[in-house]
Amino acid sequence: MRMPSIKFQSGDTVMGRWPGSSLFYEVKVLSYDAKSQLYTVIYKDGTELELREADMKNPTGFKPSRRSRSRSPSRRRSRSRSPARTTRRSSSRTVSGTFIAETHTARKEPKLKEALEVRLIPVAKPVENNSNNKHENKEGNDTSDKVNEKPADVETDKKIVESRYNLRRRKDDGDAKPAEQTEEVEQKPAVATAPITTELEFGGRLGVFCMTLLLPATVLGLMVVCGQKDASLMSSPPLPSLDSLWDLQVFGIVVLWLLFQALLYVLPVGKVVEGMPLKNGDRLKYRMNTLHAFVLTVAALGAAVHQEVDLSYIHNHFLQLAVSSLLCSVLLSVYLYVRSRWATQDQLAPGGNSGSVIYDFFMGSELNPRIKGFDLKYFCELRPGLIGWLVINAAMALAEMKLHHLDYPSPAMILVNCFHLLYVLDAYLHEEGVLSYMDITHDGFGFMLAFGDLMWVPFTFSLQAYYLVHHPNHLSLPWIVGIVTLNVIGFCIFRKANSQKNAFRRNPSDPTLSHLKTIPTATGKSLLVSGLWGLVRHPNYLGDLIMALAWSLPCGFTHILPYFYVIYLSILLVHREARDEAQCRRKYGSAWDDYCREVRYRIIPRVY
Ligand SMILES: NC(=O)C1=CN([C@@H]2O[C@H](COP(=O)(O)OP(=O)(O)OC[C@H]3O[C@@H](n4cnc5c(N)ncnc54)[C@H](OP(=O)(O)O)[C@@H]3O)[C@@H](O)[C@H]2O)C=CC1
Ligand SMILES: CC(C)=CCC[C@@H](C)[C@H]1CC=C2C3=C(CC[C@@]21C)[C@@]1(C)CC[C@H](O)C(C)(C)[C@@H]1CC3
């Protein structure tokens, strides 16, 4: 069928611009939509886009780039769609000669905003991750793959993307805008906008409302039961008195603790690194000094103990400390919710923009709330709660010694303390990796994380140590060896999986990963499909769960309470895996399905 009187016809091979760049690839015209005046074209790697005529040219006037690197046009996408780059970048790569550099120099970008609809259809086959077969952008500020030609200036690039393109879904996704609506789109500033959250998690508004009330009650309930002689969940201990829950002095101590950690956070020590690219292409800066903060805290506490400060105060005021932390997390969440009302669209998290007060309060509306560079979410995620957890553990060891007149903590208490210390130190030693975790890159900062970081982590993660104070458990040497071995296995899987993924994301050409197979995706990123990431789809979760079991075993088998952490983590990680799965399927489309076919189990090999 011939098309209307237009420049290009279906079946023509022409050069199509890649969104946001001055790069042209060979494309085949599939169809033309007269209403939207867009051509649907297909790139050689199977990527389909819709382009305006102005972004398509006859092949004459183009020359093939002399370099021939295996790089799919679609892999340019993440770069070209990220307007604000802090690095300059190359513009001459080829996919078996299909990626062509424009021969014109100093091309002027028209000021017109143009509509572009995007649909990516990846061609995904596992490939060896060797240096001749790269499918992936280097994440971060890597400039080592720069080649000649017009390096795109940050601002110029931003303007090009903002003024030339409005990326939106294709018609066949069901919400294409007719031509009249395109006008409307063009009138808005061309910045990334946060979509309204329609798919509500955690049982929606009612679910999060219940969780907001039940989670704090659960922590307090567990703590009360744990302090009883009979730590059975079926026991019904007397309700704690108001006095045992609240003390102004204790509240003051918690506030001082937060301020002290905040002070350590702003110390100008440690390198500053950039986080993952945000929706608008910017990268926030983070100072990596959690380890410094930890060491200084230990030094300060050591000095305090030397001055005869009694750390068993923590054990004696455990409930009051928890209630004060809860109050701080509620106040913080209210502040976060209120300030999110003034946040710009591109500062909002995808999951916390539903318009429902309770839902957005719980999930967190703003992705990276900052006060003059002080990142509230990142601060809370790694510092007051995690260091607080270790301090509580140490206080429990002292309380155990005091209560049972011991010269040293029991072997069970030492194991629990050492395992937890290793886990937290590992996070600090690999602090940069945390910047790519879901909580930082995807989840908003609201009650769930504020409460999780400030109350849940320190007071439920330390339950095993608290339990051991009142329920000593003798461990034989074989048990000790067995438990230590289990923790080492879990830790190695956890660390290796996280390190492999982080290294691969930072530099897919990393020679230490060259033996691993990968699946390319249309976004330009690849997926690891062998090694630990070929065993299950979340090997890091598997390692985490094995460690969790090793942390509970020192407490014996008399009560289920010390196993609370394993139960919590299993539920959280299964749910998290499902969330991540949905995100990855959206992001990677059929390449993700191929990965799932290749790696059948999610967390536990041959089981789940
Ligand atoms: N102790 C606790 O309470 C908790 C601990 N954790 C731990 O935190 C850590 C971080 O967890 P989380 O942020 O949930 O998830 P991950 O660190 O596993 O990140 C998931 C992301 O990894 C990338 N990815 C997935 N599969 C592959 C693959 N095959 N190859 C390359 N990249 C892949 C995808 O992102 P992309 O492709 O965009 O890079 C995906 O979105 C984990 O180790 C977890 O165990 C988590 C929650 C609670
Ligand atoms: C429902 C509910 C109680 C939600 C709160 C969940 C949070 C407690 C967790 C979500 C992800 C977390 C992570 C860590 C601690 C627990 C929370 C905040 C973590 C910082 C622990 C240390 C690890 O090494 C880690 C850095 C991998 C980890 C990151 C995720």
Residue 62 pLDDT: 62
Residue 173 pLDDT: 32
| CB burial of residue 549 (10 Å; 0-12, 13-18, 19+) | middle
Name which residue leads in pLDDT, 140 or 391.
391
Residue 1 pLDDT: 42
Has residue 174 got a pLDDT over 50? no
pTM above 0.90, yes or no: no
Which among 72-81, 232-241, 278-287, 428-437 has the top mean pLDDT?
428-437
Has residue 92 got a pLDDT over 60? no
Residue 396 pLDDT: 97
Q: Give, for ligand 2, the residue of 423, 447, 457, 542 to mutate: max count of ligand atoms closer than 8 Å to Cβ.
A: 457
CA separation for the pair 359, 343 (Å, rounded): 17
Closest ligand to Cα 437: 1
CA of 438 to the centre of ligand 1 (A): 7
Has residue 393 got a pLDDT over 50? yes
Average pLDDT over residues 52-69: 63
Pocket of ligand 1 (CB under 6 A): 437-438, 494, 498, 501, 504-505, 525, 527-528, 533, 538, 540-541, 544, 569, 572, 576, 580, 583-584
Has residue 604 got a pLDDT over 60? yes
Residue 565 pLDDT: 97
CA of 456 to the centre of ligand 2 (A): 9
Which among 234-243, 484-493, 528-537 has the top mean pLDDT?
484-493
Residue 238 pLDDT: 83
Q: Give, for ligand 2, the residue of 456, 498, 568 to mutate: max count of ligand atoms closer than 8 Å to Cβ.
A: 456
CA of 437 to the centre of ligand 1 (A): 6
Name residue 304's amino acid: A
Q: Give, for ligand 1, the residue of 377, 438, 593 to mutate: max count of ligand atoms closer than 8 Å to Cβ.
A: 438
Closest ligand to Cα 389: 2
Average pLDDT over residues 559-577: 96
Among 125-134, 465-474, 584-593, 596-605, which is the least confidently predicted range?
125-134
Residue 21 pLDDT: 55
3-state secondary structure of 229: coil
Residues of the chain with pLDDT > 70, as a percent, come to 75
Give yes or no for residue 457 CB within 6 A of ligand 2.
yes
Residue 20 pLDDT: 52
Residues of the chain with pLDDT > 90, as a percent, come to 54
Residue 44 pLDDT: 67
Residue 285 pLDDT: 95
Q: What tokens does 298 get?
A: 């230990």
Residue that is written with structure tokens 């790519």 in the block: 436
Per-residue pLDDT tens digits for 420-436? 999 999 999 999 999 99
Average pLDDT over residues 192-218: 87
Q: Which atom of ligand 1 is least distant from the CA of 538?
A: 18
Q: Which atom of ligand 1 is least distant from the CA of 505?
A: 39
Residue 386 pLDDT: 98
Has residue 78 got a pLDDT over 60? no
Name which residue leads in pLDDT, 321 or 94.
321
CA of 145 to the centre of ligand 2 (A): 35
Closest ligand to Cα 603: 1
CA of 489 to the centre of ligand 1 (A): 19
Closest ligand to Cα 449: 2
Has residue 70 got a pLDDT over 50? no
Closest ligand to Cα 442: 1
Average pLDDT over residues 147-168: 33
Q: Which atom of ligand 2 is least distant from the CA of 423?
A: 24
Residue 282 pLDDT: 87
Binning pLDDT at 50, 70 and 90, where does residue 153 land? very low
3-state secondary structure of 201: coil
Average pLDDT over residues 459-477: 96
Average pLDDT over residues 545-555: 98
CA of 350 to the centre of ligand 2 (A): 19
Average pLDDT over residues 523-528: 90
Among 5-19, 33-47, 105-119, 281-295, which is the least confidently predicted range?
105-119
Q: Which atom of ligand 1 is least distant from the CA of 573?
A: 47
* Beta-carbon count within 10 A of 25 CB: 27
Alpha carbon nearest to ligand 2 atom 14, residue: 381
Which among 52-66, 380-394, 516-530, 583-597 has the top mean pLDDT?
380-394
Would you say 310 and 240 are in contact if contact means Cβ atoms under 8 Å apart? Answer: no
Name which residue leads in pLDDT, 58 or 170.
58
Give yes or no for residue 381 CB within 6 A of ligand 2.
yes
Alpha carbon nearest to ligand 1 atom 41, residue: 580
CA of 74 to the centre of ligand 2 (A): 34
* Strand duo 13-17 + 56-57: pairing: antiparallel
Q: Which atom of ligand 2 is least distant from the CA of 439?
A: 11
CA of 250 to the centre of ligand 2 (A): 25
Binning pLDDT at 50, 70 and 90, where does residue 5 land? low
Closest ligand to Cα 546: 1
Q: Which atom of ligand 1 is least distant from the CA of 434?
A: 10
Rounded to 5°, angle at Cα 54 from 49 and 56: 55
Would you say 197 and 351 are in contact if contact means Cβ atoms under 8 Å apart? Answer: yes
Question: In the predicted model, what is the mean pLDDT of the chain?
Answer: 79
Binning pLDDT at 50, 70 and 90, where does residue 28 land? confident
Per-residue pLDDT tens digits for 336-352? 999 999 998 888 998 88
Q: What tokens does 530 get?
A: 């062998």
Residue 278 pLDDT: 87
| DSSP state letters, 123-167 | ----EE--TTS---PPPTT--TT--SS-PPPHHHHHHHHHHHEEE
3-state secondary structure of 117: strand
What angle, 0 to 180 degrees and rounded to 10, lies between the N-to-C axes of helices 477-506 and 539-552? Answer: 160
Residue 55 pLDDT: 80
CA of 600 to the centre of ligand 1 (A): 17
Alpha carbon nearest to ligand 2 atom 25, residue: 427
Among 25-34, 148-157, 457-466, 494-503, which is the least confidently predicted range?
148-157
CA of 333 to the centre of ligand 1 (A): 25
Residue 187 pLDDT: 37
Binning pLDDT at 50, 70 and 90, where does residue 127 land? low
Residue 126 pLDDT: 54
CA of 272 to the centre of ligand 2 (A): 23
CA of 533 to the centre of ligand 1 (A): 11
CA separation for the pair 51, 116 (Å, rounded): 6
Q: Which atom of ligand 2 is least distant from the CA of 434?
A: 26
